[in-house]
Chain A
């Protein structure tokens, strides 16, 4: 995408945000390695060369601009419109990363604020404001984005590696497959067995409990959170936080039309899904009929 960078200066700008992506980055186990290789001109939580006020008032050279939060053209910080600061630095930087769903697609803030959007999208719809920097943009949606995705993307940029991007400029290596890929409840999914209770390790949550993993692009079940877990592994359905339509309504309940999921798995025609599900459901798999783990075992303390 870009030639190997001569310097590694990163500017992290927060727009309309909860700072969740900044916090997420702090959880990376090798954050110190990253900090040895780059220099933050500004980051809201990490040691930085400049203060925010200085960044806003001046124009510093930087190679990577990271934007966090929805972009609201009326939002002012220190009396300066944030959109002007983003415009200025996005023309200086060689790469612009949108960290999180808000800066990529608008996210939760755009639901109640019709002026707010992502850098290039408002939900699925392309916006025009920043089309001149489309070619140097990388989208890393997620609520928040997984710290390793930021870490690895920055590493790939620093090394001058080619990053294959999809139509929303998401790296395919992270977003080319769905969150369902790697889910350890796949045996239940294959035979369409719900049998799920929240917080428990058994049963498929797509059947009744609103799991959006089969149609959500992401790596949560392959690049685990804190290196050990994911929502689905912990007994919570995927909420589809990387997708343009996040946040969806009526989470934890699978929307159905006469018993048929309103959302089929990504790219799967409804006719194909219905046919396969019909066959799978016909067979009673004894192994899954009863709970495998005794209630309270392994996951609860014995008092």
Chain B
């Protein structure tokens, strides 16, 4: 009876919350109060797929859901991105019958990397995707090894790991396990022999701390690594990106599936590969996955094209306090051969909590914008001085940089400043301030 009432109340709260436009964590929170072990009292589907990692969780989960649904599977997933235990509880209970059975073929859970250990105490995933571990929100997360330890606590026997073979820290989760499913990229034409990053998180082996070498870097410290001492090295892959041409916007998976890219970034191809891998594991044919992923435009609002007066542009939502996320966006601007201007806004560091810390600006490789493809660089927001100080230590000529503490003034300046394409790079916390001044393309 307790289960029945808890599920009922969760569903009612979810319904009312939906009408009021409230978030999806409160119903789960109440349910957990009423019945702390409610998650272990529900009957779960054959596939319980969890996705965690620093970057790409939401996009990967969205693409997995899309592919599976298009191929006839029913999927329960946390599309609002409420990824702590309360949000996951809401997801599970609102997908369940009052008798306590989740009706879908697949339960797909995006999980916050620090809270996975609580969530998966009650729900053991059948498959667990770990995308990457980067410097991300360090003001809360500490550092990548701290997060590694938190995730390690959430991995239980009987769960099959699906790991990014190109991330040295993530790969360590697979040590000593026989049944890991590995995904990664072969040597790509866009690879470099030397590190391109403001810092090197692949300098030392995560296992024995001896120096590591790379035969190829995909981006930052993601690539083909090998320890010089203990033998730890990149694992061979089960599913791989075999080629990519970002200029033409095409990737190839497993040597035969060509997918055209709506978003021409390395990030995006890894998210697609992770989604492909999961769909293959669930039994979808590769050809069908490729068909669904071709020109797929993410619906989570992270990439938005816009019009500003006579100018066109794209907002690349990046994450403050996450240098690799910024590096990826900067790379898109750097490689835009038609030429572009770039707007960077740092106004509120986070939308969820207060911090005035901008140390992460020093981890971003802004020198990438010292490219013939990039014209004017407009820096804006409350922390414009910190941005300016950071750019002062790049090789970018000062006369190409414009500073505005006021975001509307920065946008006005761009509106009246030429006709080049605009890449706007900022975070969830600041993007609305920008979007309020432009016309979003439908």
A and B part of one assembly? no
